[in-house]
């Protein structure tokens, strides 16, 4: 369990394992944390675009709302066996 002085905030970096996919195709990871001097237990659900169940990732928090946290992938530490190369060379490029 992770110990935090404050709750998760934008630009925080975390290491997570993607557990499942959402209905919209986002990778879902769950995280338990002990927050603040009161040692309050919190459960966070992290939503990660372009993630596959089984991926070990380093992610950055983009935004947080009511226990659900949207993240972006910084690096893939261990790819999932389900991960495939994209068929289109333009997949994942930003403008």
For residue range 20-68, what is the model confidence (pLDDT) as tens digits?
A: 999 999 999 999 999 988 889 999 999 999 999 999 999 999 999 887 8
Residues 6+ positions from 57 with CB-CB distance below 8 Å = 15, 16, 17, 18, 29, 48, 51, 73, 74, 75, 76, 77
91 pLDDT band, cuts 50/70/90, is confident
pTM of the entire predicted model: 0.85
Between 29 and 7, name the one with better pLDDT: 29
Distance between CA atoms of residues 6 and 37, nearest Å: 9
Residue 38: φ, ψ to 5°: -80, -10
């Amino acid at each position: 369990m992770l110990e935090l002085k404050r709750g998760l905030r934008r630009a925080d970096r975390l290491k997570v394992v993607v557990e499942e996919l959402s209905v919209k195709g986002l990778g879902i990871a769950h995280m338990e944390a002990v927050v603040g001097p009161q040692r309050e237990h919190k459960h966070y659900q992290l939503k990660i675009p372009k993630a596959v169940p089984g991926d070990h990732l380093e992610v950055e928090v983009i935004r947080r709302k009511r226990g659900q946290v949207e993240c972006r992938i910084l690096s893939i530490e261990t790819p999932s066996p389900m991960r495939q190369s994209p068929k289109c060379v333009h997949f994942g490029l930003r403008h």
